[in-house]
Amino acid sequence: MKELDIQKSIKNSLIAIGHRCWQVDSGKKLTYKTRGFGLEKGFPDLFGSRKGDNKLFFVEVKKSDGVLSDDQKAFLLAAHENGILNGVARNVTEAIEIIQGKRTILDEIEVEEINNEI
């Protein structure tokens, strides 16, 4: 499954259970809309607000073997430090855990550190 397919699946699932969610195309493209101005480097694939309390969330979507870029890691760490729900999701379940506050960027960094030690 392509990363874009995972993004769409997560986005549609989150909307179906009542959250507000938008998918971001942060790749470099010059169009009449962006004219080279876009989102900050590392901006996550999905963002939205949690149903009930409208708390902001960011979800970076990766395939099973996907790795965060330094920009993505920095963005999510800054969001975490500011109390914003965020993390890396490889499926709908992980995305829901992020929105519930059960999963954060720190979980992903711990996994990366363990993998680097092996």
Return the pLDDT at 112: 66
Return the pLDDT at 14: 98
Which of 1-10, 21-30, 99-108 shows the lowest mean pLDDT across its residues?
Answer: 21-30
Domain extents in the chain: 3-25+40-117
Return the pLDDT at 40: 85
What's the Rg (C-alpha) of the chain? 14
- Residue pair 86/76 in contact (Cβ under 8 Å)? The answer is yes
Q: Does residue 25 register a pLDDT over 90?
A: no
pLDDT tens per residue, range 56-105 = 999 999 999 999 999 999 999 999 999 999 999 999 999 999 999 999 99
Which of 3-12, 30-39, 105-114 shows the lowest mean pLDDT across its residues?
Answer: 30-39
Please tell us whether the domain made up of 3-25+40-117 is placed in CATH 3.40.1350.10.
Answer: yes
Return the pLDDT at 43: 94
Q: What is the 3-state secondary structure (H, E, C) of the chain?
A: CCHHHHHHHHHHHHHHCCCEEEECCCCCCCCCCCCCCCCCCCCCCEEEECCCCCCEEEEEECCCCCCCCHHHHHHHHHHHHCCCEEEEECCHHHHHHHHCCCCCHHHHHHHHHHHHHC
